């Protein structure tokens, strides 16, 4: 006899409630969902004291690093920012009901493809309480019910935030099961979610490499994966020097820990002697270290040497791999070998070179004369994002409310039968 | 030490070659791919004798039923039809490079979302040789390399067809590895394909319930699943009687073995006494049997009684489940309980009722006054289909060349850095 684990039992129940809630959600108007988002925002603010107390308890139990504790920490302004985030999502256009295509067949059948919610989404993330609130807002906007499983260090604050969100849903007259959280920090719950084929329609993992790898290894449910971002900035021989310096400094150092940060600088041999020393000086002034190939070290001798493995490393830190290349094709070859099809940029004045680069790179986001750090739902104008998808199915790049929809067909006839 | 199975080794090699081929394919023009499709068609015709000899050998070794042997059999006209199918695919619009969205941000960044190939597709199907040729054509049109694994009973004919297709690719100057087949009928190859995360981008299974279930259970690779089609036709009280009779007869009996065939008739109580006897008579004349609920048998007493399980059964045969319902909501409740979110139809003159039905059903395809058998890529105008997707991610309903694409973003700036 197969005995279900407690986590599996809980998830089965939660997913059933989420399915029923999603069917109610799918019939709501955009105005109803926006009202609920505003009620959830108000409720976050009115529950701020409870949320901050829960955070204190989480922090008291937390043995992590200072950086970790900083991500976990919430202040009253941060709670307010979470609430404002939900209000901002309410201002976004309705992602549902859009006519994606529309045509009439020779037999008179009128076919329309319209955007519709995915259904029930499982979100697995780390101990960053605001991620749960953002995800709940994006899912609700797009008509999806969500089950949130945050990091074990944030279990008390996640519960307090969820209680506030649910109070908002209740006030707005929507089912409380639209937003649910895992009952505890037991890792078995992640396993139960990954195994929940037919119960969850999609899992969105957001976290480090080990989480994403576990999800991809174990999941029986479709996954909108966010794997590593090994992003390149390629400085073409035709680049405007000032622009190249500005873009490389921003792409690497604006924030080093995000997936759209540039990890490797590729620079054309023709321009490297004139430009690389200045780029290195700019970045050094910002605290960046280097792993450079032999040709780059011929130009700037005191750079640390790069190993083969360095070019395959997502630093997520103030370190830049540097390689000198011979033109667009060599840059593309390097990117095809070491890149992760996430985000790659060219800096060039030569439009033909840029066009060849953009055509030749198969990344989710390819940029010309802009920083790789623009790979972001907010910067794309999506208003909010639940993550950056690095797979090749369903959605690629920033994932906002629109990307959390699927479609269905309406076919309108006048009695047609198939010959 | 982990020793790779022979199947895994072969697949790793094939997928590597497919990846390289897909990168070449992604750079081809539509005209180049169309020329290759025509060369493949010509090659199928010129290799017809080899293909028919291989089929003879397959049939000689086959111990299956007559129906099975009929699906396996190929005649010269059937080979010609396969070739014509490829030529027809060449006439379809280019699914690649389409601008799916296009906008400019306040900071001047110009963002464009364009259609791009998925990459390397694994196709697992049964012993129907033409399916392999069709799939190869659709994948090539959409810029994807494909690895085909057909049924074990068709291993010789699949090899002969593949040899012809590859000769066509070679003649057209495209890489032979654009279209590959499994080396033998070993079931281990399916396992290797399902485990090939990172090597295959997508698996399309096409076959019976046991294949699809195995794929969904084991796959480590995204799957465009084609699960069962438990389709309903709902005859509303306002239906035109003649239209309802015509549609139900076609939806059930045109072809009973396809996933878009209606399995259950729902009929409003108000109209059942007047209409159900005629529908039953029509279908009986076509050889159909019935599993009917008590209310239906009150009207037509000699119908076989339906069990609960009958309403959850995809007959794929000349059997129709019948239930009498009280209006649109009751029909929707029945469909939500027993349906498979595949294809469901309403027959009604009352536009409000139809609208409520179309809004309330969450099937991939919802029809008003048309036969469920229209759920088909050809009937949708896609020109060709590789299957019908029943999942909620990436694509739903008929899957043609356009659905075998993904997208990427091109971002064009003038030196923007992120604040």
Does the CB of B111 have a partner CB in chain A at under 8 Å? yes
pLDDT in tens, B196-246: 988 999 999 988 888 888 888 889 899 998 878 999 999 999 999 999 999
Whole-angstrom Cα distance, residue B353 to residue B329?
10
Helix and strand totals (H; E) in chain A? 15, 15
What would the two tokens of residue A280 be? 């290195």
Q: Measured between CB atoms, does B270 come within 8 Å of chain A?
A: no
Sorted by sequence, the CB contacts under 8 Å of residue B261 that are 6+ apart come out as B229, B231, B251, B252, B254, B255, B315, B316, B372, B373
Residue with tokens 């935030």: A161
Is B380 part of a structural domain of the chain? no
B214 shares a domain with B107? yes
B356 close to A (CB below 8 A): no
- What average pLDDT does the segment A326-343 reach? 96
Question: What value does the mean pLDDT take over residues B380-407?
Answer: 93
Rounded-to-integer distance, Cα A345 and Cα A235, Å: 8
Instruction: Return the number of other C-beta atoms located less than 10 Å from residue A152's C-beta.
Output: 18
Residue B109, in any domain of the structure: yes
Residue recorded with tokens 């900083």: A70
Q: Among A124-128, A310-314, B383-387, which range has the highest average pLDDT? A: A310-314
Q: Is residue B382 part of a domain?
A: no
When pLDDT is cut at 50, 70 and 90, the band that residue A3 belongs to is low
Question: Which residues fall within 8 angstroms of residue A302, CB to CB, at 6 or more apart?
Answer: none
Check whether A227 has a pLDDT greater than 80. no
CA distance B155 to chain A (A): 30
Q: Do B57 and B198 belong to one domain?
A: yes
**Which of A22-36, A321-335, B131-145, B148-162 bottoms out in mean pLDDT, i.e. has the lowest?**
B148-162
Question: How many other CB atoms are there within 10 angstroms of residue B148's CB atom?
Answer: 23
Chain A nearest CA to B186, separation (Å): 24
Instruction: Assess whether A302 and A286 both reside in one domain.
Output: yes
Residues B19 and B129 reside in one and the same domain: yes
Q: Would you state the structure tokens that stand for residue B323, as one six-digit string?
A: 């239930």
Average per-residue pLDDT in chain B?
94
CB contact under 8 A, B365 and A411: yes
Q: Do A111 and B411 touch (CB under 8 A)?
A: no
Q: Is residue A389 part of a domain?
A: no
Taking the C-alpha atoms of residue A223 and residue A229, their distance in angstroms, rounded to an integer, is 17
The reply to whether residue A220 touches residue B220, judged by beta carbons under 8 angstroms, is no
B102 touches chain A (CB under 8 A): no
Q: Examine the domain organization and report whether A96 and A139 are in the same domain.
A: yes
Both B252 and B219 in a single domain? Answer: no
Token reading at B109: 């960044």
Does the beta carbon of B281 lie under 8 angstroms from any beta carbon of chain A? no
pLDDT at site B2: 58
On the question of pLDDT at A1 being above 50, the answer is no
Q: Does A349 touch chain B (CB under 8 A)?
A: no
In chain A, residues 12-41 whose CB comes closer than 8 Å to chain B: 23, 26-27
On the question of pLDDT at B353 being above 90, the answer is yes
Mean pLDDT of B327-356: 97
What's the average model confidence in pLDDT over B55-73? Answer: 83
Reading the block at residue A97, the tokens are: 């009901």
Task: Report which of A280, A263, A236, A225 is spatially closest to residue A344, judged by C-alpha positions.
Answer: A263
Q: What is the pLDDT of residues B81-107, one digit of tens each?
A: 999 999 999 999 999 999 999 999 999
Based on the fold, state whether residues A49 and A116 are members of the same structural domain: yes
Q: What average pLDDT does the segment A356-382 reach?
A: 95
B365: closest chain A residue by CA: A409
Which residue in chain B has the smallest CA separation from A243?
Answer: B415
**Residue percentage of chain B with pLDDT more than 70:** 99
Distance CA A30, CA B364 (A): 22
* pTM over 0.90, yes/no: yes
Domain annotation covers residue A268: yes
Whether A390 has its CB under 8 Å from any CB of chain B: the answer is no
Q: Which residue has the tokens 């180049």?
A: B32
Q: Which residues pair with A322 in a beta bridge?
A: A265, A292
> Is 70 exceeded by the pLDDT of residue B146?
yes
Assign residue B227 a region (left: φ > 0; alpha: ψ between -120 and 50; beta: otherwise): beta
Cβ-contact A281, A320 below 8 angstroms: no
Shortest Cα distance from B121 to chain A (angstroms)? 11
Count of the separate structural domains present in chain B:
2
Asked if A219 and A238 sit in the same domain, the reply is: no
Q: For position B1, what pLDDT does the model report?
A: 44
Q: Does B130 touch chain A (CB under 8 A)?
A: no
Q: What is the ipTM of this complex?
A: 0.94
CATH number, domain of B315, equals 3.40.309.10
**Do A67 and A37 share a domain, yes or no?**
yes
Q: How far apart are the first and last CA of chain B?
A: 51
- Binned at pLDDT 50, 70 and 90, residue A2 comes out as low
Query: Is B369 contained in some domain?
Result: yes
DSSP single-letter state for residue B258: S
Instruction: Give tens-digit pLDDT for B286-317.
Output: 999 999 999 999 999 999 999 999 999 999 99
Considering just the CA atoms, what is the radius of gyration of chain B in Å?
A: 24
CB contact under 8 A, A409 and B397: yes
- B129 & B255 share domain: no
User: Taking CB atoms and an 8 Å limit, are A406 and B396 in contact across chains?
Assistant: yes
Backbone torsions φ then ψ of B80, nearest 5 degrees = -65, -40
Count of residues for chain B?
Answer: 419
Q: Quick one: B268 and B200 in the same domain?
A: no
**CATH number reported for the structural domain that contains residue A185 in this entry:** 3.40.605.10
DSSP string, A181-245: E-SS--THHHHHHHT-BTTBSEEEEES-HHHHHHHHHH-SS-B-------EEEEE-TT--HHHHH
In the block, tokens 């005629």 appear at B278
**What sign does the CA torsion over B118, B379, A111, B350 have?**
negative
Would you mind telling me the total number of residues written for chain A in this entry?
419
Average pLDDT in the B323-344 region?
A: 96
Please report residues of A whose CB lies closer than 8 A to that of B406.
Answer: 392-394, 396
Range of the domain at A24: 6-227+395-412
Residue B418 lies in a domain: no
- What are the pLDDT digits (tens) for A153-171? 889 999 999 999 999 999 9
For A311, list phi and psi in degrees, rounded to 5.
-70, -15
Give residue A127's pLDDT band: very low, low, confident or very high (50, 70, 90). Answer: confident
> Measured between alpha carbons, how far is B61 from B56 in angstroms, rounded to an integer?
9
Same domain, residue pair A69 and A178:
yes
Tracing tokens 């995915």 back to the chain, one arrives at A118
Residue range A9-20: average pLDDT? 96
Q: Chain A: give the shortest CA distance to residue B43, in Å.
A: 31
Are A94 and A82 in contact by the 8 Å Cβ rule? The answer is no
A residues 197-256 near B, CB within 8 Å? 197, 201-202, 216-217, 220, 222-223, 240, 243, 246-247, 249-251, 254
Tokens (6 digits) for B41: 């068609």
Of all residues in chain A, what percent carry a pLDDT higher than 90?
83
Please judge whether A370 and B417 are an interchain contact, meaning their C-beta atoms are less than 8 angstroms apart.
yes
Q: Which residue has the tokens 């083969």?
A: A308
The pLDDT of residue B175 is 98
For residue A70, tell me if it sits in a domain: yes
| Residue B124: φ, ψ to 5° | -115, 120
Which pLDDT band holds residue A74 (cuts at 50, 70, 90)?
confident
CB-CB contact of A91 with A383 (8 Å): yes
Contact, A304 vs A320, CB < 8 A?
no
């Amino acid at each position: 006899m197969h005995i279900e684990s407690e986590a599996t039992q809980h998830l089965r129940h939660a997913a059933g409630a989420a399915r029923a809630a999603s069917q109610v959600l799918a019939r709501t108007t955009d105005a109803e969902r926006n009202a609920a988002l505003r009620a959830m925002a108000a409720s976050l603010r009115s529950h701020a004291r409870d949320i901050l107390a829960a955070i204190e308890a989480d922090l008291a139990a937390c043995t992590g690093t200072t950086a970790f504790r900083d991500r976990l920490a919430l202040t009253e302004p941060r709670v307010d920012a979470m609430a404002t985030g939900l209000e901002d999502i309410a201002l976004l256009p309705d992602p549902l009901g859009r006519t994606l295509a529309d045509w009439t067949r020779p037999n008179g059948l009128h076919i329309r493809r319209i955007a519709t919610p995915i259904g029930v989404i499982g979100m697995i993330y780390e101990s960053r309480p605001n991620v749960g609130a953002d995800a709940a807002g994006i899912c609700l906007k797009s008509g999806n019910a969500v089950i949130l499983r945050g990091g074990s260090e944030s279990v008390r604050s996640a519960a307090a935030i969820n209680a506030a969100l649910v109070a908002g849903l209740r006030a707005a007259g929507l089912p409380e099961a639209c937003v649910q959280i895992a009952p505890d920090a037991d890792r078995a719950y992640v396993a139960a979610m990954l195994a929940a084929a037919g119960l969850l329609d999609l899992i969105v993992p957001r976290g480090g490499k080990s989480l994403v790898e576990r999800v991809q290894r174990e999941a029986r449910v479709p996954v909108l994966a966010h794997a590593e971002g090994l992003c390149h900035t390629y400085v073409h021989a035709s680049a405007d020097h000032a622009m190249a310096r500005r873009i490389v400094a921003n792409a690497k150092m604006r924030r080093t820990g995000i997936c759209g940060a540039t990890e490797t600088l590729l620079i054309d041999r023709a321009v490297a002697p004139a430009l690389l020393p200045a780029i290195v000086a700019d970045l050094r002034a910002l605290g960046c270290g280097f792993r450079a190939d032999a040709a780059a070290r011929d130009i700037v001798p005191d750079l640390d040497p790069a190993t083969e493995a360095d070019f395959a490393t997502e630093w997520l830190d103030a370190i830049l791999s540097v390689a000198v290349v011979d033109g667009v094709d060599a840059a593309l070859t390097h990117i095809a070998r070491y890149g992760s099809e996430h985000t790659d940029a060219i800096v060039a004045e030569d439009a033909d070179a840029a066009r060849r680069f953009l055509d030749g790179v198969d990344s989710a986001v390819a940029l010309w004369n802009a920083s790789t750090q623009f790979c972001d739902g907010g910067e794309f104008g999506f208003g909010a994002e639940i993550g950056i998808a690095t797979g090749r199915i369903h959605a690629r790049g920033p994932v906002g409310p629109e990307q959390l929809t699927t479609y269905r067909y309406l076919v309108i006839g006048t009695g047609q039968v198939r010959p």
